[in-house]
Amino acid sequence: MTVENRYDVIVAGAGHNGLTAAAYLARAGMRVLVVEKNDWIGGAAVSRSLHEGWTYSNCSYVCSLLRREIARDLELPKYGLQVIPYEGGASFTRDADYFAYYSDHNALKREMARHSAKDADAYRGYSQAIMRQCRFIRPFLLRDAPDPASLHPRDLGELAYLVKKAHGQGSRELGETLKFWTMSIGDFLDEHFENDLIKAHLAGSGIIGTGLGVYSPGTAYVLLHHYMGDIDGGIGAWGFARGGMGAISNAIAASFKDHGGTIHTGAGVEKILSKDGRVEGVALEDGKVFYAPVVASNMDIKRTVLHHIDAAELPDDFTKAVRNFKIRGSSAKLNIALDRFPNFPAAPEHTSFLRGDLHVSQSLFELEKAYDDWKVGRWSEKPYIDMLIPSQIDPTMAPTGAHMMTVFVQYAPYDLEVDGVRSAENWNEKQRTAMAETVLDQMSVACPDIRERVVHMEVRSPLEIEREVGLTEGNIFQGELTFDQLFFNRPVPGWSQYSLPIKGLYLCGSSAHPGGGVMGAPGANAARAILRNETRHGRMKGYAA
């Protein structure tokens, strides 16, 4: 052992959460090393140039959830991060009409009234209900989830905080909260609205990234998970990071390095070393070994536990619980370089809503059927697509006059069914192309000339997302966002507070509470746990503390 290969903390994986944890720890004065298997950093928050002149946010593509506390603590603007909110969006119909979602509430109300006067009036009640839930949940994102089975003062304290917040709502509203958290987004929308297109437009956020359908209980929460972020206090607003999502990772990395941190790329963790129930360091794929008394894994819980740790080092019931952790690939992604702006014949001239998220789903039934296809191992015949053209707002993404389009596709299975056999190995060039054709057909509802506009297209099935980013099964949240895997159940009961059964080993990625999205909260929370458990003074500084 030399000084060169010894650190206070090693973070395995340079995703945005790993970098966040590392940056907090470095600021606390610890000697921190981040190791990354790819030659680049960022995990699923990356900007990649795969075609000369264009930049793709080729995994995550929009930003809202990143906690303001973290951006402020880590001084991300100083390190180059700029987040620009985008406006509105639209769902196009198959008969050349559309429903536009304006951020201007008068315009939105008039547009809703064009489809249904009742729905235009009902929208306020709906958004109030969602906002009340956001208000309720947001304080918990940067706190630990209490272990209900523990009598530790801190758990009791967190539990008391939860009870206080819940009780403070009043019994009627608490009931509404319980109902909201356990119902499906489909049922929730049916209670408020009558128009199919409006419901389909609003439902999308309830299924993005998850192996559930719009009528599966719990999807109202998934919607909330997409709404609870903010941009500069505008709750539920989404935006682009200038320069693509990689700008977020790069800013966090720059903040980290500026405080003495080291990043080692190009070689992933082969094995997390431990002895007598205590972590010792990591051995990399390139043969290098680094030592530290604390290792924080930004990999998902399955990858961390089942691939990089000796099973003998862990209790069997823990390993079993991890094996049963649900982390299902359900999304695919198309990243497209366009020669110029595609034609949206239905959209009025000079409209602003094309700068937002665009969809073509017609009804909740259509979305539910898309889920049925996925259940049996096929990509959806009519997938839900979330497409955006960030180059309208961010001039760094494409050459002048040309554009970059990001298309998120729900649902696409990890274990694709071909000729009766379900396997990830079935994803090959032919299947990917066939899926892309399905998606392009779907996109043509909005922009019929899309095929002629394509200069270059990257098609990513869940398998590619798994292989490149390392997300098991290509699940974008590092684990399903269902009740049985949230809060004190995330990732597995009894281990919701970032530490794992090997002393000194921590989880700092989205498999941990509060879950996925480019939020940074698991990373910050893990850093707080590490500082509390592993150092003598213990307390993290900053707004996220």
Q: Which residues bind another protein (CB under 8 A)?
A: 100, 102, 104, 106-107, 109-111, 117-118, 121-122, 124-125, 128, 131-132, 135, 147-150, 169-176, 178-180, 182-183, 187, 191, 212, 215-218, 317, 324, 326, 341, 348-353, 365, 368-369, 372, 375-376, 392, 482-485, 488-489, 492-494
Residue 369 beta carbon to another protein: minimum distance, rounded to whole angstroms: 7
SS3 category, 157: helix
- The answer to whether 252 and 19 are in contact (CB under 8 A) is yes
d(CA 374, CA 102): 31
Backbone angles phi, psi at 513, to 5 degrees: -55, 140
**Rounded to the nearest 5 degrees, what angle is found at the Cα of 533, between the Cα atoms of 25 and 153?**
130
**Rounded to the nearest 5 degrees, what angle is found at the Cα of 54, between the Cα atoms of 396 and 91?**
85
- Complex with another protein: residue 29 or 348, whichever CB lies closer: 348
Structure tokens at 485: 């895997």
| DSSP per residue, 268-308 | -EEEEEEETTEEEEEEETTS-EEE-SEEEE-S-HHIIIIIH
| DSSP per residue, 141-203 | HTSPPP-TT---HHHHHHHHHHHHHHHHT-HHHHHHHHHHHHS-HHHHHHHH---HHHHHHHH
Backbone angles phi, psi at 27, to 5 degrees: -65, -25
Structure tokens at 214: 């719009």
- The answer to whether 471 and 517 are in contact (CB under 8 A) is no
Report the relative pairing of strands 331-338 and 403-410 from DSSP bridges: antiparallel
d(CA 449, CA 342): 6
- The answer to whether 255 and 75 are in contact (CB under 8 A) is yes
Report the relative pairing of strands 54-56 and 384-388 from DSSP bridges: unpaired
Q: Which residues pair with 505 in a beta bridge?
A: 295
CA distances from 33 to 73, 117, 263, 437 (A): 20, 58, 6, 43
Residue 391 per-residue DSSP state? G
Alpha helix (H) residue ranges in 324-421: 364-375
- Complex with another protein: residue 402 or 545, whichever CB lies closer: 402
SS3 category, 40: coil
Residue 32 per-residue DSSP state? E
- Those residues whose C-beta lies under 8 Å from the C-beta of residue 383, and which sit 6 or more positions away, are 370, 409, 410, 411, 412, 438, 439, 442
- The answer to whether 403 and 340 are in contact (CB under 8 A) is yes
d(CA 245, CA 106): 31
SS3 category, 531: helix
- The answer to whether 415 and 327 are in contact (CB under 8 A) is no
Burial class (CB in 10 A: 0-12, 13-18, 19+), 478: buried
SS3 category, 497: coil
- Complex with another protein: residue 285 or 317, whichever CB lies closer: 317
- The answer to whether 177 and 185 are in contact (CB under 8 A) is no
